[in-house]
A = this chain, B = another copy of it.
Amino acid sequence: MPSPSQIERLLRDASLRVTAPRKAVLAAVYENPHADTETLLAATRSRLGSVSHQAVYDVLRALHEAGLVRRIQPAGSVARYEARVGDNHHHLVCRSCGVVADVDCAVGEAPCLTASDDAGFAIDEAEVVYWGLCPDCQSRPAAR
């Protein structure tokens, strides 16, 4: 969990201007892994008092383009963000409640990341999503 000054550092090093919304949104992403935009908007407001809807969208895009956050979007879900970038980890997604958990890449890095036939594509990333039911949803089946 980076300190405020580390947050500033991260922004500056990415040659992004350091503004209150950006610091707050980035901190919120660190504190709420896999959170959706609405959650991050709420978290940001609880720090700053008020930020626009749009600012959070813009900031998340800027952070994403700068490589400071990763954007994930499992099918049927809204966009979610996480600050854990740079490593090659994957995700578990609950079919029932949509909650997301991290998984480290199982087999080193090789097999999963190489397609048997790339059809001429220049592949730069292999993403693995494991679908299932989270512990909570297993214990109350089909409930909710």
Query: A interface vs B, CB < 8 Å?
Result: 71-73, 75-76, 79, 90, 92, 94-95, 101, 103-107, 111-112, 114-135, 138
Contact = CB atoms under 8 A, between A and B. Distances in A.
Contacts of A132: 118, 121-125
A34 to B, nearest CB: 12
Nearest to A135: B120
A119 B106 contact: no
A119 B133 contact: no
Number of copies: 2
A127 B124 contact: no
A33 to B, nearest CB: 13
A127 B103 CA distance: 14
A131 B135 contact: no
Contacts of A133: 121-122, 124
B124 A131 contact: yes
B92 A115 contact: yes
Contacts of A131: 123-127
Nearest to A99: B121
